[in-house]
Amino acid sequence: MMRRKPRWWLYIVLVTGFVAMIFPFIWMLLGSFKTNAEIRSAPLNFFPENPTLENYVQLFGRLDFTTYFTNSVVVAVFVTLGNIVFSSMLGYALAKLEFAGKKVLFGLVLGTLMVPGVVTFVPLFVLTSNLGLVNSYPGLILPFLITPLGVFLMRQFILSLPDDIIEAARIDGASEWRIFLRVIMPLCGPAVATLAILTFLGSWNNFLWPLVVATSEDKYTLPVALALYSVGQNASQYGLMMAGAVVVVVPVLAIFIALQRYFVQGIALTGIK
């Protein structure tokens, strides 16, 4: 077999991509230690001239940070759990069970996937408001407990599992519940990890829904609170914004690192990202 030449160009592409992706991140991190005047100064300073913790002091002092952080965590955790439970249940049914109207149901799921969120936004809000859920945790969480993307992702993954193991379990007398919980779910690790990261990230970064549904400040999530304090009508506090962004990114990074192994596996297996 011919020995391959070292693919130096590949490294150039990778390094360029890496720098392009990491640069804004480093800029954000460095920016969080600069004063507002320094961030806007021309020519730009890459490294902070007089590093300051002022932005972080403001972030944790002036803002009711704990409340916003707790709200964000509560919402993101419940949304993620809901998606893991419900999306995999429906995904399993659509992949492996036979019942009347299955194709139509799957078509409906795909259909909702095609309708952009902005279209359903106002009707969804009207519904939430008619149910009296405005400015409450359920109002923030319920609409996102199950997402078509999650169902699709789980169905595609479960579809790839062999029917034989299900049939074997059935012959052994296991109920559908038991098959789902004991046979299918343990095999779904990579897909669940992917789903968990995607939904957590989606919920954590969600801005428009909490902005509209959380009508009082004690229900604001982090992104809404950050927009509130850092973006003014005439002047924005970029330093504070950067510091906030750093703090918002940390939990996501932690989760991603924890689930990274499964995540990559999940992408490879389902071909979905």
Residues that bind another protein (CB under 8 A): 36-37, 40-42, 101, 103-108, 110-112, 114-115, 119-123, 125-126, 128-129, 134, 207-208, 211-212, 215-217, 224, 227-229, 231-236
Shortest distance (Å) from residue 22 CB to another protein: 24
Shortest distance (Å) from residue 255 CB to another protein: 26
- Where do we find the tokens 């809901």? 82
Query: How far, in Å, CA of 114 to CA of 234, rounded?
Result: 37
β partners of residue 231:
236
Query: How far, in Å, CA of 168 to CA of 200, rounded?
Result: 35
Query: How far, in Å, CA of 49 to CA of 51, rounded?
Result: 6
Q: Which is nearer to another protein, 193 or 224 (CB)?
A: 224
Long-range contacts of 223-226 (CB under 8 A, 24+ apart): 223/72, 223/248, 224/68, 225/63, 225/64, 225/68
Shortest distance (Å) from residue 95 CB to another protein: 15
89: Cα within 13 Å, side-chain hemisphere: 11
Q: In the structure encoding, which two tokens stand for residue 203, read together?
A: 């919920």
Shortest distance (Å) from residue 212 CB to another protein: 5
Query: How far, in Å, CA of 209 to CA of 75, rounded?
Result: 12
Q: Which is nearer to another protein, 27 or 256 (CB)?
A: 27
Shortest distance (Å) from residue 105 CB to another protein: 8
Q: Which is nearer to another protein, 101 or 186 (CB)?
A: 101
Q: Which is nearer to another protein, 15 or 231 (CB)?
A: 231
Q: Which is nearer to another protein, 123 or 173 (CB)?
A: 123
